[in-house]
Structure 1
Amino acid sequence: MSDLGGARPVAGPGALVGREDECAALDRLLADVRGGGSRALVLRGAAGTGKSALLEHLVARSSGCRVVAAAAVRSEMELPFAAVHQLCAPLLDLLDVLPGPLRDALGTAFGMRAGPAPDPSLVGLAVRGLLAGAAAERPLVCAIDDAQWFDGASSRVLDFVARRPVGARVACVFAARDPADTVVPPGLPVLDVGGLPDGAARALAARAAPGPLDPEVRERILCEARGNPRVLLDLIRGTAAGGFIAATPARPPTDRAGDGPEDGVRHRLDGLPADGRT
């Protein structure tokens, strides 16, 4: 089972438009892990470029593997070990196989037993033990979204785990915004997820639109989205809602999309009454 916080492929059903190279890299990572290796990778890109969709691709392709997933939450950045707990919760049935000091450290970190704040290195070793125990049964895939919002303790633990292979058949894949708001595991292999090339952006627009787009409307949407899949889809939806699908010469009611999906949200807020905006 997996849960990436509701993430869905940016291109809808089927293959991700314009992400063939990134999907192939993740498929190779899975092949390595199924073959007995351990791999770590950071998917890095701006908001809305499809990192969560790539994690969903990874999970969907992980047949025969055990998958554990986590999505760091900005509001939990001050809660020690919050992200680690989310990742490890499905594996706590293996807690009893850990040596006593590691079991105690992890139990204390997760609030399962009383005690002083645990040594992060012991927590890191305990997490490695859990992952290794899970991977002994079948390959293990750890999919971690929004890593830029790790709490400090989780960042240190997951950095420790990702840098030191836990044994065979484990993959740890992180998705993080660039620039990141906080430290994500440094020094790991990075796959940059940029904007879509023009041809892929046009293909995504054609797939997403509920009907033919007026050429002028389509060109303006493509220009404003600048290859960002989420912005592109938001603009398509806004255009459809505003009645600009099919051969209408009018321009879609949008301002410049800016650098990310937040700008599209701001534009939609402008159409609300004052009380609604508040």
Structure 2
Amino acid sequence: MSGNAPWRVLLGRSHECGVLDHVVADARAGRSRVLVLRGAPGVGKSALVEYLTRSAPGFQVLRVVGVESEMELAFAGLHQLCMPLLGHIERLPGPQRDSLAIAFGLRDGSAPDRFLVGLAVLSLLAETAEDRPLLCVVDDAQWLDQVSAQTLAFVARRLLAERVALVLAARPPAFGAGDDPWAALPETEVPGLRDDDARALLDSVVPGRLDERVRERIVAETRGNPLALLELTRGLTTADLAGGFGRPDSRPLTSQIEHSFVRRIESLPSGAQRLLLAAAAEPVGDVPLLRRAAERLGIDADAEGTAEEAGLIEFGTRVRFRHPLVRSAAYRAAPPAERRTVHRALAEATAPGFDSDRRAW
């Protein structure tokens, strides 16, 4: 990585970082920008999102993370996006205000008109951006619930002269463009690292000197995927890597990376494993809520430190997984009965008097 104000340019990502810098500059100048970062799991979309949020001083930043377990919950993604802005909801025109309030469970009513919900979100973002520029980032957008994805696409197509930037990071659509709500939006592809950058990254994490033929084989097998280079070589010596780690019958690269996280999670004490599952099931990253749920689940307080020391999660003002694949690994590896137990604890720990809107989800 090289120095760059206001943050660092990522290794091999000068073009992508430059594109994001222009997004921020345009939004600051009152020219709304929308961008989809498209790439395979582990290719570095989340790192670019992190670069973006750190490169936007003076912006209010709204973060949304798509969560597999909430894909069937209509409006769940929009709830993440709009929750910090609900103090402005009374400024919206009556029909928009009522539709959004009903969608979020803030008041009773019949199913809201989705067109009015879309207009309400657009108005809410524009109203907020009057105070200072607004940056909305959505990571793992492919896991948003369908209603939220369609509504955000509606909003994205109507942002014009507001000080708003909307950036979505998503995997390629599973079934082609017809299955992709972001298909018509401006897009930047995030490819694997070039071979020279992949070699530099590999050399930075593997102890000792790698045989050149082994290095070339690993670079080819990972196809320049940064997370694969970092994660699949973790803890391995040059002798361990002598044969590479790809086989003709091996699983897809994403599955290999996720399985490496599963192995690391399974090596932790049971309390830390359960805490990671609870954090994976709670999409907002609410630390007090997670701690209340952990208490109900009988998880010891030292489980937080254990999970953090493993390099899988961070507990700050918000809970942050090292990578979205850690979240999916923690959730998928747990038996269904354990998932239900954790969801129940989270629901019980959500205070109805203070978090009635969130409890609805």
Q: Alignment partner for residue 200 of structure 1, among 190, 197, 201? A: 197
- Aligned equivalents of 1:212 and 1:184: distance in 2? 46
**Structure-to-structure mapping, 1:111-126, within 5 angstroms:** 111-126=105-120
Deviation at 1:249, TM superposition (A): 8.3
Deviation at 1:158, TM superposition (A): 0.5
- Aligned equivalents of 1:179 and 1:52: distance in 2? 17
- Residues 146 and 180 (structure 1 numbering): CA distance in 2 closer, same or farther, change over 3 Å? farther
- Aligned equivalents of 1:208 and 1:130: distance in 2? 45
Q: What SS class does the counterpart of residue 210 from structure 2 fall into?
A: coil
Partner of residue 263, structure 1:
256
- Residues 148 and 250 (structure 1 numbering): CA distance in 2 closer, same or farther, change over 3 Å? closer
**Structure-to-structure mapping, 1:1-278, within 5 angstroms:** 14-165=8-159, 167-180=161-174, 183-237=180-234, 241-242=235-236, 244-245=237-238, 248=239, 251=242, 254-256=245-247, 259-266=252-259
Counterpart code for 1:228? N
- Aligned equivalents of 2:113 and 2:211: distance in 1? 61
Indicate the percent of aligned positions where both proteins have the same amino acid: 48
Partner of residue 7, structure 1:
none
- Residues 88 and 211 (structure 1 numbering): CA distance in 2 closer, same or farther, change over 3 Å? farther
- Aligned equivalents of 2:92 and 2:221: distance in 1? 53
Counterpart code for 1:251? A
Deviations 1:164-188 (A, max 9, x none): 0164210010111013465332211
Deviation at 1:254, TM superposition (A): 2.5
Deviation at 1:148, TM superposition (A): 1.0
Q: What SS class does the counterpart of residue 251 from structure 1 fall into?
A: helix
Counterpart code for 2:186? P
- Residues 233 and 37 (structure 1 numbering): CA distance in 2 closer, same or farther, change over 3 Å? same
- Aligned equivalents of 2:263 and 2:85: distance in 1? 46
Bigger shift: residues 203-212 or 75-84: 203-212
Bigger shift: residues 186-195 or 159-168: 159-168
Deviation at 1:252, TM superposition (A): 5.3
Of structures 1 and 2, the one scoring higher in RCO (CA 8 A, sep 6+) is: 1
Q: Runs (4+) of structure 1 moved beyond 6 Å?
A: 267-273
Deviation at 1:211, TM superposition (A): 4.4
Q: What SS class does the counterpart of residue 51 from structure 2 fall into?
A: helix
Deviation at 1:100, TM superposition (A): 1.6
Deviations 1:37-83 (A, max 9, x none): 10101111111111111111110101011110101111111100010
- Point out the structure with the larger helix share: 2
TM-score, normalised relative to structure 1 = 0.84
- Aligned equivalents of 1:270 and 1:53: distance in 2? 23
Deviations 1:222-259 (A, max 9, x none): 1211111111111221xxx23x14xx486257334754
Deviation at 1:265, TM superposition (A): 4.0
- Residues 186 and 267 (structure 1 numbering): CA distance in 2 closer, same or farther, change over 3 Å? closer
- Aligned equivalents of 1:108 and 1:115: distance in 2? 6
Partner of residue 320, structure 2:
none
- Aligned equivalents of 2:61 and 2:149: distance in 1? 20
Q: Which residues of structure 2 form unaligned runs of 5+?
A: 1-6, 268-332, 336-361
Q: Which residues of structure 1 form unaligned runs of 5+?
A: 1-12
Deviations 1:103-126 (A, max 9, x none): 111011011111111001110111
Question: What RMSD in Å do the two structures reach over aligned CA positions?
Answer: 2.6
Deviation at 1:264, TM superposition (A): 3.7
- Residues 269 and 57 (structure 1 numbering): CA distance in 2 closer, same or farther, change over 3 Å? closer
TM-score, normalised relative to structure 2 = 0.65
Q: What SS class does the counterpart of residue 111 from structure 1 fall into?
A: coil
- Aligned equivalents of 1:57 and 1:172: distance in 2? 15
